[in-house]
Amino acid sequence: MKFVTDLISAQDAKTEKLNEAPASGEGLDSATPSSEGADTPTDSQPPKDGDAPLAWAPIEPAPKKKRLGLWIGLGVGAVALGAGAASMILIAPGTTVAGIPVGWLTPGAAADVITEHVETTEITLTGAGDDVVLTGAELGATIDAAALADQAFAERPLWNIGSWSGDPVPGDITLDAATADAVLRDAVPSSFEEPVDAGVVFDGAAGAFTITPSAPGTAVDVDALTAAIADAVADGGTSLEFPGGPSEAAPAVSDDAATALAASMNEMLGSVGFYIGEERTVPIDPATVSTWVTVVDDDGELRISADAAAIQATVDGLAGVVDRAPVNATNIVNSSGEILRVETEGVTGRAVGDTSNLAAEAAANLESGNGVFPIQVSETPFESVNLERRIDVDLGSQTATLIENGNVVRSWAISSGKAATPTDVGNFTVYAHLRSQNMKSREPDGSITETPNVPWVTYFNGDEGFHGTYWHNDFGNPRSHGCINMPIDVAKFVYDWSPLGMEVSVHN
């Protein structure tokens, strides 16, 4: 910087020379006219005001020396400081974001440049587009300019010389689908034909949900247009051409999507109903379900819509189906209280509780694909009744008596074993039942007698049992080979009345 120093020094010398004051006694105060009357410049004579001379004004003090060198030096320093500060806030030269130059800019200015470039890029629709020109802004083109500018500055600051003219910072340009679609439809209406979405409907004949197939349409390919804009900007361009002719446009709802929903709905049909615990107390048939639900195409998404008002009619009738009185359990027991058979199953009484929100809850469940609708009930427990049963066989009176809880239920005349083949005396228990059996009996002479199709056999002691008798009607007298002969209808009653394990007492 020697030329600056020399310039400062020369200027200061000149200034000092020009501003030197005369020595005392040698200035204008001592200049008088010569005695010879020599010509004296009028500007060196004291001014007069008539005859009285006017005094000179005091001489101005000499100006101080100018320090230009100091000021110029400070200026160079300020420039140096400014350049250093700038390097801390600017993006390195040669930097591009998505193809847009942003070097020598602050992040804020870079963001503005990026945004403006994307929005002002011009797209000429050729062919069917009839050379209509649209801008990125009209098509809803956007880029995350602020974030990308910050990224460019963070990765490539001006002060980092190694980052100058580095690789481009990539950035995605996107088009707002709805905006682009609306603008393109207006610009090239002939390129658009609506596709048909697949749907789901109920087939009454099949009793199941089935699909209505989709069909493709046509449109300007927004994805391809987006890529073309990005490529043009990446190449540094601000305009491009793009064919405005139709491309195939897929339906928003495919056959596969509709088939999947129909399958899940058909699976749900098998479980739709109102439940008490795990029990589907009130099943709902598929045809009724189909009047409760419809499948809605909601901007390309199929969803189930359920009608709570339609469901309410069934809810209103639940009490007539669900409510019931308790039914007591009846158990057949022996003398020890052991349950031999449950004669009647106990049933808990119940009544439907609050159903004010049930239809709305059922509708919400259906819309989520759940056909289970829990209902609240109040319950009344049942009681258990034990019946102690036994049969008393009196060989002396040739009678059999059925006794329950100490009371005689029925009593009949029988035919027990003959003297040669007597019926055993003792306490026994029923151990087997046979609806019909071919019986063989040994006679006293050793011969074998066979009786076919003996009905309603209830065994209680080895080969001795109660059974129906069709070959004689001599009841009240011993006639058998040890069994207890009974009329057929009585034998049937005993067969049904006596559970396994029931006590039988045989005595004289």
**pLDDT score of 84:** 60
Rounded distance between C-alpha atoms, residue 499 and residue 390, angstroms: 10
Which residue type is seen at 186?
D
The DSSP output letter for 95 is: -
| Lowest-confidence region among 50-59, 94-103, 475-484 | 50-59
Name the packing angle between helices 222-234 and 177-187 (round to 10°). Answer: 100
**pLDDT score of 64:** 46
- In this prediction, what percent of the chain has a pLDDT beyond 70? 83
**pLDDT score of 442:** 82
Which residue type is seen at 293?
V
What average pLDDT score do residues 300-310 get? Answer: 97
Copy the structure tokens of residue 70: 């100091």
Averaged pLDDT score across all residues of the chain: 87
Model confidence pLDDT, tens digit, residues 147-170: 999 999 999 999 999 999 989 999
Torsion of the alpha carbons at 299, 300, 306 and 310, rounded to the nearest 10:
80
Reply yes or no on whether the pLDDT at 61 is more than 50. no
Degrees to nearest 5, angle at CA 358 with 354 and 359: 140
Domains of the chain: 67-199+212-253 (no CATH), 270-380 (3.10.20), 388-507 (2.40.440.10)
- In this prediction, what percent of the chain has a pLDDT beyond 90? 80
Rounded distance between C-alpha atoms, residue 395 and residue 422, angstroms: 10
What's the distance, CA 193 to chain centroid?
32
If we measure between CA atoms, which residue out of 256, 287, 255 comes closest to residue 269? 287
**pLDDT score of 134:** 97
The confidence band for 85, taking pLDDT boundaries of 50, 70 and 90, is low
**pLDDT score of 262:** 98
**pLDDT score of 52:** 39
* Total length of the chain: 508
Model confidence pLDDT, tens digit, residues 317-326: 999 999 999 9
Task: Outline where DSSP puts E strands in 138-234.
Answer: 141-142, 174-175, 199-203, 208-212, 217-219
Residue 189, C-beta contacts closer than 8 angstroms, at least 6 positions apart: none
Sign of CA dihedral 495, 330, 318, 282: negative
**pLDDT score of 67:** 40
Reply yes or no on whether the pLDDT at 383 is more than 80. yes
Model confidence pLDDT, tens digit, residues 19-54: 334 333 333 333 333 333 334 333 334 444 444 343
